[in-house]
Amino acid sequence: MEAVEKVKEYLKGTTTIGLAASEGVVLVSDKRATMGTLIAHKVVNKSFIIDKHVAATVAGSVGDAQALIRWMRSEARLYRMRKGEEISIGALSNLMANVLFSQRYYPYIVQLVIGGVDKTGSKVFSLDPLGSSIEDKVVSTGSGSPYAYGVLEDAYREDMDVEETVRIGIRAMKAALQRDAMTGNGIDVIRITKDGAVKLPKEEIDKIIDSF
């Protein structure tokens, strides 16, 4: 119980979103890092490209998140070297879930969303600090997630193309930025298709926001 309460204490800030589109995946995150009511950092990277076909968002302890991102990148590259092909999104998610579960009594204080495109299609998984791995089409984490879900439940459809999904993800994040004090200072977006993972430039994100 002590470990669970410690996790709950830390997982209060941030908003991240993972969406599976008809032919791709979109990951969205804010850029604000908080320590209680203090805005500790205004430009924090919470969305990471792991390999050319897979990316992740993080919420929680920055140190734990950075360590797990390095771990995932290493495992993805090693798999490619050994097998001559990309690791599947499900396999990488299960690997990280096993890592988290093995530390459940002294947990990594982090919640992950892993998403990408492999041979089986577009995949999004949500991982909690105690080791669960759950596949879904729509995932949001952090304190701003109720506001994001309010938009996503109304606007998201499984048959949307990637560009439309990008717009819905940004719109949902914009709602969280406007209503959640621990979410803010900008938006990061990663778009993943069969052609690879790309982090969208700020100018493109701003243009989409201005169109709402």
Query: Which pLDDT belongs to residue 182?
Result: 86
Query: Which pLDDT belongs to residue 12?
Result: 55
The residue among 157, 14, 97, 33 whose CA lies nearest residue 89 is 97
Residue 59 identity (one-letter amino acid):
A
pLDDT tens per residue, range 9-59: 444 568 999 999 989 999 999 998 777 778 878 888 999 999 999 999 999
Residue 14 designated active-site: yes
List, in order, residues 6 or more apart from 80 with CB less than 8 Å away.
51, 86, 87
- Report the alpha-carbon distance of residue 174 to residue 169 in Å, rounded: 9
List, in order, residues 6 or more apart from 199 with CB less than 8 Å away.
47, 49, 188, 189, 190
Query: Which pLDDT belongs to residue 9?
Result: 46
Tokens 């969208």 correspond to: 200
The residue among 140, 90, 160, 82 whose CA lies nearest residue 119 is 90
Query: Which pLDDT belongs to residue 8?
Result: 46
Structure tokens that stand for 191 in this block: 């778009």
Q: Which domains does the chain have, with CATH numbers?
A: 2-210 (3.60.20.10)
Tokens 């490619």 correspond to: 80
Which residue numbers in the chain have pLDDT < 50? 1-11
Annotated catalytic residue, options 14, 16, 141, 193? 14
